[in-house]
């Protein structure tokens, strides 16, 4: 049984709204996870700071205090920062993958809706409208190619974002390793 065009359009709009809601939920979830990471990092930093200050107050020799700060405090802070960056990168990567899945589902559904629309429109074309149907189908095939371009661009965008997060993490780790080697010399 064929559905009226208005009902089909309503279902398409409903699916698009649901997909948008799902994307918003992913974004909110990521923001909440990052906020939790920020809160935990701040608490850990405050606790570590209090411990290090207590240790520094026990040291009487300024040189020993300097060595303690350089050797222990800065390295501990660098490790905490690296751990925090890794956790944030994981949250972003997970959210990015979920957004990629939702976007690809939306594109596939839109493509399916367009195919259904064209099939319905051309199946009921009046006699003698072959030239119009041919032009319409040509435009439709172009639209399908555009859907594929949009899908590929979306996938590339999400992939590039994930790679940039990984590159920032790798750059930070390399920088920290270089600083550790330099402080040991």
pLDDT digits (tens, 9 = 90+) for 82-139: 788 888 888 888 888 888 888 888 888 888 887 887 888 788 778 888 888 888 888 8
pLDDT digits (tens, 9 = 90+) for 53-88: 888 788 788 787 777 777 777 777 777 877 888 888
Task: Record the tokens describing residue 108, joined without a space.
Answer: 């596939």
Q: What pTM was computed for the model?
A: 0.62
Task: Record the tokens describing residue 22, joined without a space.
Answer: 């799902």
Cβ atoms of residues 30 and 102 within 8 Å:
no
Q: Which candidate, 92, 90, 105, 87, places its Cα nearest to that of 22?
A: 105
């Amino acid at each position: 049984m064929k559905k009226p065009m208005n009902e089909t359009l309503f279902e398409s709009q409903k699916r698009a709204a649901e997909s948008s809601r799902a994307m918003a939920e992913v974004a909110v979830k990521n923001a909440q996870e990052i906020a939790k990471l920020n809160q935990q990092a701040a608490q850990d930093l405050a606790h570590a700071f209090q411990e290090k200050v207590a240790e520094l107050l026990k040291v009487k020799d300024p040189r020993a205090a300097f060595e303690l700060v350089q050797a222990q405090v800065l390295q501990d802070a660098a490790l905490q920062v690296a751990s925090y960056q890794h956790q944030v990168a994981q949250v972003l990567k997970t959210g990015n993958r979920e957004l990629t899945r939702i976007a690809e589902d939306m594109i596939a559904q839109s493509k399916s809706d367009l195919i259904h629309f064209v099939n319905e429109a051309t199946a009921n074309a009046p006699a003698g409208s072959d030239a119009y149907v041919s032009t319409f189908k040509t435009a439709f095939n172009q639209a399908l190619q555009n859907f594929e371009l949009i899908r590929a661009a979306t996938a590339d965008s999400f992939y590039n974002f994930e790679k940039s997060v990984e590159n920032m993490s790798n750059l930070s780790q390399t920088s920290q390793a270089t600083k550790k080697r330099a402080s040991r010399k």
